[in-house]
Amino acid sequence: MKKVLGVFVFLALIAQLAFGMCSVNPTQILKTLADMCWNCIFPINIAGIPAIKGSMPDSPAAVRSPICTCPFPPPLFIRIGIPVGYFEPSRSIDVNKDAFCFAGLGINFSGLSSTQKGTKGDANTKDKTRTFFNAHYYIYPVFQLVGMFVDSMCVRSTKGFDIAYMTEIDPLWNDDALGALINPEALLFGNPITNMACIADSVASQANRPLDPLFWCKGSWGNAYPLTGSTNTKNYVEDSASVASSLIYKLHRQFVLWNSASKSALCGEHPLPIWMKSAYRLQLLFPKAHPTAMGIGQTGIIWTPNKNLPAGGDNFNYLLFKKVDCCAF
């Protein structure tokens, strides 16, 4: 009888852990700096030449010219410089099942709401092929936090840490129909023909070379539309990366996230409502860090195994590497 009772107590504890809300690491900010893929900053291009090569391919939009010019105050009016390009770890994205669970900060405010949980399937249609997450977007200037390159004109994120966006207070995030208000073109790209074109993007994404002209695709993660927290269900880890990429595109559309890559951004960031997928890399840091970043759309078979804890899981944090092209000196 005691053995049976012990088994029931053990199963009760396991169930409590498995369904526990928002298990976070209070030291996650420091752990991020320790687990970050420093090699993912590369390649570094100077004057159009790869000065330091990296393990991942560069964006095809990288500047290849040896010199550049930018406007300058009088009396010079024009400043001549040298193009410099690299991937800056300057943003962070939470993708969370539990509303107000700040996995990237190691803070649990999930008790603020019990009605905004992430779900597997649609509660109204019983469609189990869709998954929903909330998300948070942080300004996370790693170089500034560690005191590196803070005086360089090529470090675009110098305004300090900030929580820049929370989908829990965005009515467009949890309703696909309402979200179409900011992406009406979804009607043109949500069909089998355009989805077939995503096969090419899926293949290219496995080598971390997503195809920017196919902006409606997220590689093996599916169609980029709608720009909401819903995605096709595969596994929770890959689903979370898919939702993180949807947030990137959505923030571009809302002019919250500006483009810093390609020749057009040499003199400063600018709005770009259609995202440039190749300008971003995501590295999973919570609940279990992956040693390297991946491009948008890379299949989860490569990087998701053993990344989601069975107890208190389904809340994720990603470090976002953002391609920067600037006119230095």
Residue 129 lies in a domain: no
Query: Can you say whether residue 219 is alpha, beta or left, with left for phi > 0 and alpha for psi between -120 and 50 degrees?
Result: left
Domain housing 92: 16-115+135-165+235-328
Handedness of CA 265, 141, 296, 50 (dihedral sign): positive
In a domain, 47, yes or no: yes
Q: Which two tokens stand for residue 185?
A: 């073109």
In a domain, residue 255? The reply is: yes
d(CA 129, CA 32) in angstroms, rounded, equals: 32
**Separation of alpha carbons 8 and 183, rounded Å:** 51
Q: Let me know if residue 105 belongs to a domain.
A: yes
Predicted confidence pLDDT, tens digits, the chain (329 residues)? 344 334 333 333 333 344 447 888 888 988 998 999 999 999 999 988 899 998 999 999 889 899 999 998 888 889 999 999 999 999 999 999 888 999 999 988 876 555 555 555 554 455 567 789 999 999 998 887 776 665 566 777 667 788 999 999 999 998 888 999 999 998 899 888 999 999 999 999 999 999 999 999 999 999 999 999 998 877 899 999 999 999 999 999 999 999 999 999 999 999 999 999 999 999 999 999 999 999 999 999 999 998 987 776 789 999 999 999 999 87
Whether 160 maps to a domain, the answer reads: yes
Would you state the structure tokens that stand for residue 217, as one six-digit string?
């695709």
309: phi then psi, degrees, rounded to nearest 5:
-70, 140
Do the domain assignments include residue 99? yes
Kindly state the tokens that stand for 171: 């009515």
DSSP 38: G
How many domains are contained in the chain? 1
- The model's pTM: 0.88
Give the whole-angstrom CA distance, residue 212 versus residue 201.
9
Is residue 217 in some structural domain? no
Looking only at the bridges linking them, the beta strands covering 107-108 and 230-232 are unpaired
Question: Quick check: is 276 in a domain?
Answer: yes
